[in-house]
């Protein structure tokens, strides 16, 4: 039993797979990396860096205007700018 723990390869405690188009990325966090929350933070950083590199490589624009915003501004233009005034009722 003395030598069993030393020969064993560390098992990953945190795993993630990221599929971007036809590309597949695998990320792992091992036991010796500290607390579980620290491993998750490192894993997230790795995933976000890979995702950023993918976007830069494939020249995906960062800001894509929403079509919904354009149609809503057109609808606002068609509405009358002033509402009719209500007359006050006298008692």
Q: What is the pLDDT of residues 22-54, one digit of tens each?
A: 899 998 877 675 788 888 888 899 999 999 999
Element housing 15 (H / E):
strand 12-20
In this structure, is residue 83 part of a structural domain? Answer: no
Residue 20: give the domain boundaries.
9-58
In this structure, is residue 3 part of a structural domain? Answer: no
Q: Give the 3-state secondary structure of residue 39.
A: helix
Strands 23-30 and 12-20 come out as: antiparallel
In this structure, is residue 43 part of a structural domain? Answer: yes
In this structure, is residue 47 part of a structural domain? Answer: yes
pTM value is: 0.49
In this structure, is residue 34 part of a structural domain? Answer: yes
Q: Are 55 and 64 in contact (CB under 8 A)?
A: no
In this structure, is residue 71 part of a structural domain? Answer: no
For the chain, how many structural domains are there in total? 1
* Sheet strands (E) in the chain: 12-20, 23-30
């Amino acid at each position: 039993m003395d030598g069993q723990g030393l020969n064993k390869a560390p098992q990953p405690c945190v795993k993630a797979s990221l599929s971007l188009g036809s590309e597949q990325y695998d990320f792992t966090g091992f036991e010796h990396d500290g607390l579980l929350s620290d491993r998750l933070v490192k894993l997230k950083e790795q995933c976000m860096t890979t995702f950023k590199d993918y976007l830069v490589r494939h020249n995906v624009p960062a800001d894509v205007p929403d079509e919904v915003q354009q149609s809503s501004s057109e609808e606002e233009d068609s509405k009358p700018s002033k509402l009719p005034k209500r007359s006050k009722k006298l008692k």
